[in-house]
Amino acid sequence: MRGLRPPAFSSASRSREEPPPREVRSGAATRSPAGVTAAEHGSALWASRLSPRDAEDQALAGGIMVTEQEVEAIGQVLVDPKQPLQARFRALFTLRGLGGPGAIAWISRAFDDDSALLKHELAYCLGQMQDSRAIPVLTGVLSDTRQEPMVRHEAGEALGAIGNPQALELLRQYCSDPVVEVAETCQLAVRRLEWLQQHPGQPTVAGPYLSVDPAPPAEERDMGQLREALLDETLPLFDRYRAMFALRNAGGQEAALALAEGLCCGSALFRHEVGYVLGQLQHEAAVPQLAATLARPAESPMVRHECAEALGAIARPSCLAALHAHAADPERVVRESCLVALDMYEQESGPFQQDRPEQPRPPP
């Protein structure tokens, strides 16, 4: 895994003197075998948004012990609009890694921010945590038509990711939302929850990627058949998503190029998911298509933002020009995504990777 390694939070981030910390447990119950800190654990999860899982992720899954003051310090970074966006993202993924009601509470507090990019990522993390205690806040975000469409969409997707059937009634209500991306997201979430009910005992995270996806991967393994299903706009969106995640799991140049063709399909929601998946796959073959999509001003901002983050995850020199070109884009979510992506690029290709051997790149 060419994982990102954000710097750990230090005591310098605390704004006042604090009493000696009282040790509490947040999320997982014991210190992990690797003895990692809260920030290191969160950093690995920040990486896992876009990278394949490996043995280190498995070691981190054992959990850690933190103090209330540590959770508060990280939460304060997340909700502080004066902090750099990159630092707030690291705080968010650290809280995601810690889990538990305290982390959910801090993440929930940030939904009044004015950055759609940050709020959409809040919803994503709450879904990936798969904790039903996040359902009320996600319900509120989905129902709030003052929130940006990409934020409401992510809240709907997160309700599906949590996997609790109690969200089904609400999601069905929004399957006909006037915002197409929200409606399609809720339709997918309903299909996912119904699929889980029909396949009890199936793992919610399958394959080489540490993410809870909007649809399970298709069982088909023939690359040509998967490509055909991916691009067939007469098929249900759920079936096309299943083909998408099967192609991602297969990996390699053929899969990357097939997925990149999906950036020209009709649904903005579908195109945005293709961008996300190409970021997970991290294959340089898709860079030209991602850069071209990012450069289209008429493209949906949620699609352009996902392409920018994918370029940051791929982190090859060929990605830099596109990211720099749009770091001052008039569309805020695109501009912020490019800045976050450049930060990701620096960590993917910089000294954060010097403590471990470089992993083989995908074959040409």
Show binding-site residues for Fe cation. 120-121, 153-154, 272-273, 305-306
- What is the amino acid identity at position 84? P
- Helix axes 100-109 and 68-79, enclosed angle (nearest 10): 20
Rounded-to-integer distance, Cα 300 and Cα 349, Å: 29
If we measure between CA atoms, which residue out of 357, 360, 353, 361 comes closest to residue 4? 353
Q: Per residue in 194-219, is it b (16+ CB within 10 Å) or e — as a string? A: eebeeeeeeeeeebebbbbbbbbbbe
β-bridge mates for residue 209, sequence order: 52
Three-class secondary structure of residue 272 per DSSP? helix
Q: CB neighbours of 81 closer than 8 A, spacing ≥ 6?
A: 113, 114
**Number of DSSP helices (H) and strands (E) in the chain, helices first:** 18, 2
| Encoded amino acid at 23, one letter | E
Q: Measured between alpha carbons, how far is 97 from 56 in angstroms, rounded to an integer? A: 14
**Distance separating alpha carbons of residues 137 and 129, to the nearest angstrom:** 14
Q: What is the DSSP letter of 296?
A: -
Binding residues: 120-121, 153-154, 272-273, 305-306
Q: How many CB atoms lie within 10 A of CB 125?
A: 23
Token pair 């705080």: residue: 91
Supply the DSSP symbol for 52: B
CA distance 44 to 112: 27
